[in-house]
């Protein structure tokens, strides 16, 4: 039995679809209810719905053998897990953005609002830029609008949130997508099962990519 932590929400649903096509179906997961654990003994799989930012914790601490986490979370928290594959879904990018037309004063400490302090620090430290991190948990785009920060470092997917709030991209920090991760001990003891899953998912992703 492989325990898989899926990120709750749209991304998780797409990833489940992929896993189903790869030979790991669990029809009960599609039932409308508030259950969080779903099992298909025959297919040898058990799924958990987990808050996306918590997937890596479940996998790192062996509550799940494998999971699907965004590259943003892996870069920010650097969990002790194996990154096995880029699933090519959940594509977006980590960007620096600020108010449209606003100029940066180079010799002043830059106030940066973000959910990702580690990623922001490492980006600005490579530029030798002094910054003051303002850690927020959501609606990051509000910070420059209300004068709380000069810029934000945040995820941009469609760009709609920036556009509708009169913000613009200043730079791309790193491209992001969903990754298949594995617990290090599980990888050793369930090696055959996990590598089989990885191989199947990988080949399905390549086929989908080739079909585009």
Specify the stretch interacting with ligand PRP by CB under 6 A; choose among 13-21, 39-47, 126-134, 136-144: 136-144
The answer to whether residue 139 forms part of the interface with ligand PRP (CB under 6 A) is yes
Specify the stretch interacting with ligand PRP by CB under 6 A; choose among 17-25, 96-104, 106-114, 156-164: 156-164
Residue 15 to residue 6: CA distance in whole angstroms = 8
> Residue 160 CB, nearest distance to ligand PRP (Å)?
4
Contacts of 149 (CB under 8 A, 6+ apart): 111, 112, 113, 134, 143
The answer to whether residue 69 forms part of the interface with ligand PRP (CB under 6 A) is no
Residue 55 to residue 64: CA distance in whole angstroms = 9
Sign of the torsion angle spanned by Cα atoms 19, 22, 23, 25: positive
> For residue 204, what are its two tokens?
């399905």
> Residue 11 CB, nearest distance to ligand PRP (Å)?
10
Instruction: Name which of 40 and 53 has its Cβ closer to ligand PRP.
Output: 53
Contacts of 135 (CB under 8 A, 6+ apart): 114, 115, 117
Specify the stretch interacting with ligand PRP by CB under 6 A; choose among 42-50, 99-107, 151-159, 179-187: 151-159
Q: Rule CB under 6 A: which residues touch ligand PRP? A: 138-141, 154-161
């Amino acid at each position: 039995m492989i325990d898989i932590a899926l990120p709750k929400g749209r991304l998780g649903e797409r990833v489940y679809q992929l896993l189903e096509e790869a030979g790991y179906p669990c029809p009960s997961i599609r039932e409308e209810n508030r259950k969080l654990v779903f099992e298909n003994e025959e297919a040898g799989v058990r799924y958990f719905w987990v808050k996306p930012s918590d997937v890596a914790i479940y996998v790192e601490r062996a509550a799940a053998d494998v999971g699907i986490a965004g590259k943003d979370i892996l870069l920010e928290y650097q969990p002790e897990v194996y990154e096995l594959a880029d699933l090519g879904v959940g594509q977006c990018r980590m960007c620096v953005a600020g108010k449209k037309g606003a100029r940066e004063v180079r010799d002043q400490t830059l106030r940066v609002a973000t959910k990702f302090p580690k990623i922001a620090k490492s980006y600005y430290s490579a530029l030798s830029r002094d910054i003051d991190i303002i850690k927020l948990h959501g609606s990051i785009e509000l910070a420059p609008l209300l004068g709380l920060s000069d810029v934000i470092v945040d995820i941009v997917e469609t760009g709609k949130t920036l556009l509708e709030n009169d913000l613009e991209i200043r730079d791309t920090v790193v491209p992001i997508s969903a990754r298949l991760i594995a617990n290090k001990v599980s990888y050793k003891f369930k090696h055959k099962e996990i590598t089989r899953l990885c191989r199947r998912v990988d080949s399905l992703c390549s086929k989908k990519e080739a079909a585009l």
